[in-house]
Amino acid sequence: MEILQVVGPMVCTHRHPGLETMPLRILQDTNGKKQVAVDTIGCKPGNWVFTISGSAARLALGKERKVILTDLTVGGIIDFWEENESKVSS
Amino acid sequence: MEILQVVGPMVCTHRHPGLETMPLRILQDTNGKKQVAVDTIGCKPGNWVFTISGSAARLALGKERKVILTDLTVGGIIDFWEENESKVSS
Amino acid sequence: MEILQVVGPMVCTHRHPGLETMPLRILQDTNGKKQVAVDTIGCKPGNWVFTISGSAARLALGKERKVILTDLTVGGIIDFWEENESKVSS
Amino acid sequence: MEILQVVGPMVCTHRHPGLETMPLRILQDTNGKKQVAVDTIGCKPGNWVFTISGSAARLALGKERKVILTDLTVGGIIDFWEENESKVSS
Amino acid sequence: MEILQVVGPMVCTHRHPGLETMPLRILQDTNGKKQVAVDTIGCKPGNWVFTISGSAARLALGKERKVILTDLTVGGIIDFWEENESKVSS
């Protein structure tokens, strides 16, 4: 599971129906590379979170007989994290 | 889910029957790396989109008893996106 | 789905029985990184192809009650492609 | 399966219910890139471990009718490992 | 499927029961990056092999009603391979 920081919400009115109205967040790693994840936990910009990818991301949102089409879901908010902790110490 | 920009359609007459006649798009990230995705939303060259990968990409196209053999499907068009937003801010 | 160029066939007499006698191809990306894929389309050295990865690669070869153990399968031959099209334009 | 070194536990009180109270560990590769994994083996900071990713990570934790939503699980502690063994020998 | 060279066996007495006593090998790519794979073919140090990843790696080891928890399995030994063949020709 990856460690990423929340940038903010992603506005996307034109989306695949399989994502329903799930809240989407833009996250970035320590190099600034951005990804999009579904958030059911309510993370805020600046929070450091870890993300669940692949088929587990989809199961994390499973409601009865419905499938939410995501490949990345926020798994939790990390209690204490400093950005430079995750930099290469080389 | 990744954030990519639409380059244009991909012409591919000789393809696996499991892809049927699905429209294929060439997408690229901010480093210029290109990938191919199935598009059911109707994105245009220049649009910034996010993509669904893995088994979710396949489920996104599921029709009754048919399987579309993709590992990348356009999930939605992002309303506002500036290319330099997704660059490394370092 | 990735865009790769066919280098040639891969000779591998000592292989997992789950791959049967499937034709294997060596493919490379624009940086020269090589991968191995199952080819059911008949691509030739020099062709630019796109590849299907993950569980979709396996389903692409599914015969009745048989499973072919691949994680990469050629999805189609691209009609027009120039190597420098896929380089970083920066 | 990847080879990673244990940094320490990850404190995360606000987490997805699908992870239950599974112990989470922060691991890093030889470049210092960090990831989060579920640990059922009891690895200690400094241990070199290998990790199981994807759907296998989830199955590794499967209890009857329960699904633990992870994409990375510690698979074992390596008996002998020197950090510089895993550096590029070029 | 990736092309990797066998470094040698991996000694790991403390492992997840889902891996049983499967033989584990340390493999490396041409940059020296190491990974761990299950080997049922009997590859030797120095051999160049290709590997099957993801859920296919697991199915490659499937016995009746048993699941082996791997995400990487040796798929075959390549008949002829020179290390510099896989370097970037640029």
- Domain borders along chain B are 2-12+20-80
Give the rounded percent of residues in chain A with a pLDDT score beyond 70.
86
pLDDT band for D86, please (50, 70, 90 cuts).
very low
A34 vs B3: CA distance, rounded Å? 7
pLDDT band for E86, please (50, 70, 90 cuts).
very low
User: What pLDDT sits at residue C89?
Assistant: 39
Residue A19, CA distances (Å) to A71, B53, B56, E40, E41 in order: 11, 13, 11, 41, 43
Q: Which tens digit of pLDDT belongs to each residue from A28-67?
A: 999 899 999 999 999 999 999 999 999 999 988 876 556 7
User: What pLDDT sits at residue A63?
Assistant: 65
Residue C58 CB neighbours (<10 A): 25
CATH number belonging to domain E2-12+20-80: 2.40.50.220
SS3 E48: strand
User: What pLDDT sits at residue C35?
Assistant: 97
Give the rounded percent of residues in chain E with a pLDDT score beyond 90.
63
Q: What is the pTM of this model?
A: 0.89
Q: Assess whether pLDDT exceeds 60 at residue D79.
A: yes
Q: Assess whether pLDDT exceeds 90 at residue E61.
A: no
User: What pLDDT sits at residue E63?
Assistant: 65
How close, in Å, is residue D79 to chain A by CA atoms? 24
Q: Assess whether pLDDT exceeds 70 at residue D83.
A: no
Q: What is the CA radius of gyration of chain E?
A: 14
Helix (H) or strand (E) holding D6: strand D2-9
In this complex, is the C-beta atom of D49 within 8 Å of any C-beta atom belonging to chain E? no
Are the Cβ atoms of E57 and C72 closer than 8 angstroms? no
Answer with the residue of higher pLDDT: C86 or E3: E3
| Residues making up chain B, counted from first to last | 90
In this complex, is the C-beta atom of C54 within 8 Å of any C-beta atom belonging to chain E? yes
In this complex, is the C-beta atom of D31 within 8 Å of any C-beta atom belonging to chain E? no
Q: Of the candidates A13, A15, A35, which has its C-beta nearest B75's C-beta?
A: A15
* Half-sphere exposure for D52 (CA within 13 Å, toward CB): 32
B57 vs B72: CA distance, rounded Å? 5
D52 vs D38: CA distance, rounded Å? 10
Q: Assess whether pLDDT exceeds 70 at residue D20.
A: yes
User: What pLDDT sits at residue E65?
Assistant: 57
Strand boundaries in A1-90, DSSP class E: 2-9, 14-15, 24-28, 34-38, 48-53, 72-77
Q: Which of C2, C7, C14 to mutate to test the interface with E (most CBs of E within 10 A)?
A: C14
Q: B23 with B9: CB under 8 angstroms?
A: yes
Q: Which of A71, A74, A84 to mutate to test the interface with B (most CBs of B within 10 A)?
A: A71
Neighboring chains of B (3 or more beta-carbon pairs < 8 A)? A, C
Give the rounded percent of residues in chain B with a pLDDT score beyond 70.
86
pLDDT band for C86, please (50, 70, 90 cuts).
very low
User: What pLDDT sits at residue A70?
Assistant: 94
Q: Is E7 exposed, middle or buried (CB count within 10 Å of its CB: 0-12, 13-18, 19+)?
A: middle
Mean pLDDT of D20-35: 93
User: What pLDDT sits at residue E90?
Assistant: 36
Q: Which tens digit of pLDDT belongs to each residue from B38-81?
A: 999 999 999 999 999 999 999 888 765 567 899 999 999 999 88
Beta pairing class for C2-9 and B72-77: unpaired
In this complex, is the C-beta atom of B84 within 8 Å of any C-beta atom belonging to chain A? no
SS3 C88: coil
User: What pLDDT sits at residue B61?
Assistant: 86
Task: Enter the tokens of residue D58.
Answer: 């989830």
Across the B/C interface, how many CB contacts are shorter than 8 Å?
76
Q: Which tens digit of pLDDT belongs to each residue from A58-81?
A: 988 876 556 789 999 999 999 988
Mean pLDDT of D8-34: 92
Are the Cβ atoms of E76 and C18 closer than 8 angstroms? no
Q: C2 with E68: CB under 8 angstroms?
A: no
Q: Which tens digit of pLDDT belongs to each residue from C20-77?
A: 889 999 999 999 999 999 999 999 999 999 999 999 999 888 765 567 899 999 999 9
A63 vs A67: CA distance, rounded Å? 7
Give the mean pLDDT of chain B.
87
User: What pLDDT sits at residue B64?
Assistant: 59
Mean pLDDT of E72-80: 94
In this complex, is the C-beta atom of C72 within 8 Å of any C-beta atom belonging to chain B? no
pLDDT band for B88, please (50, 70, 90 cuts).
very low
Residue A4 CB neighbours (<10 A): 26
Beta partners for residue C74, in sequence order: C51
